[in-house]
Amino acid sequence: MKTKIKKWGINGEGIAYSHKKTIFVDHAIPGEVVDIEIVEDLPKYSNAEVKEVIEPSPRRRMHPICPKWESCGGCSIIHVDYKGQVRMKEQVLKEALRKYANYEGKVEPIIKNPEPLGYRNACKLPFGHVNGKICTGMYKKGSNEFVAVDRCLIHSKKLEKVRIELMDIFAQYDLPVAANAKQPGLLALVLKEFDEQVHVTFVSGQMNIPQELVDQILALEDVVSVWQSIKDEDVADYELFGKTVTHLGGQEQLSLKLADYQLNLLPKSFFQLNTKQAIALYQTIATWIPEHSHFLVEAYSGVGAISLFVADHADQVVGIEYIADAVDNANTNAKLNGKDNVSFICGDAGEEMEKLIAKQSIDTLIVDPPRSGLNKKMKDSILKSLPESLIYVSCNPATLGKDLKDLQRAYEIKRVQPFDFFSQTAHVETAVLLSRRKSKK
Lateral strand order in the sheet of 364-367: 342-346, 314-321, 293-299, 364-367, 389-394, 429-436, 411-419
Q: Where are the alpha helices (DSSP H) in 204-274?
A: 211-218
Round to whole Å and give the CA distance between 89 and 247.
Answer: 40
Nearest 5°: the CA angle 308, 314, 338 is: 40
SS3 state at 233: coil
pLDDT value for 367: 98
DSSP assignment letter at 56:
-
Q: How many other β-carbons are positioned within 10 Å of the β-carbon of residue 67? A: 10
The tens digit of pLDDT for each residue in 222-278 reads 999 999 999 988 888 778 898 889 999 999 989 999 999 999 998 888 899 999 999
Q: Which of 123, 135, 152, 395 is catalytic?
A: 395
The three-state secondary structure class of 170 is helix
Helices 211-218 and 157-170 pack at an angle, to 10 degrees, of 150
- Beta-ladder partners of 36: 50
Q: Are 435 and 392 in contact (CB under 8 A)?
A: no
Which parts of 236-302 are beta strand (E)? 246-250, 254-258, 261-265, 293-299
Give yes or no for residue 441 having a pLDDT over 60.
no
Helix (H) or strand (E) holding 210: none
Distance CA 436, CA 384 (A): 12
- Whether 346 is catalytic: no
d(CA 338, CA 320): 19
Mean pLDDT, range 187-198, rounded to an integer: 96
Beta bridge partners of 226: 200, 249
CB-facing half-sphere around the CA of 36: CA atoms within 13 A: 28
pLDDT in tens, 5-52: 999 999 999 999 999 899 999 999 999 999 999 999 999 999 999 999
Instruction: Give me the residues paired with residue 319 across strands.
Output: 298, 344
Q: What are phi and psi of 130, to 5 degrees?
A: -130, 120
Report pLDDT digits (tens) over 314-335: 999 999 999 888 999 999 999 9
Q: Which residues, including other chains, have CB under 8 Å from residue 102's CB and lie 6 or more apart?
A: 405
Burial class (CB in 10 A: 0-12, 13-18, 19+), 347: middle
CB count in 10 Å sphere of residue 246? 14
| Pure H helices in 20-81 | 69-72
Q: What count of other Cβ atoms lies within 10 Å of the Cβ of residue 384?
A: 11
36 neighbors 16 (Cβ within 8 angstroms): yes
> Which residues lie closer than 8 Å to 172 by C-beta, 6 or more apart?
216
pLDDT at 97 over 60: yes
Q: 211: which residues sit within 8 A by CB, 6+ positions away?
A: none
Domains of the chain: 2-58 (2.40.50.140), 97-114+270-436 (3.40.50.150), 122-258 (2.40.50.1070)
Mean pLDDT score across all residues of the chain? 94
Task: Give the pLDDT confidence score for residue 63 in this predicted structure.
Answer: 86
State the DSSP string of 174-207: ---B-SSTTSSSEEEEEEEEETTEEEEEEEESS-
What pLDDT score does 244 carry?
87
Statement: residue 440 has pLDDT above 70:
no
Summarize the confidence of residues 299-320 as an average pLDDT. 96
Let me know: does 360 contact 332? Beta carbons within 8 Å: no
Residue 24, amino acid: F
Burial bucket for residue 64 (CB in 10 Å: 0-12, 13-18, 19+) = middle
Helix (H, G, I), strand (E, B) or coil at 218: helix
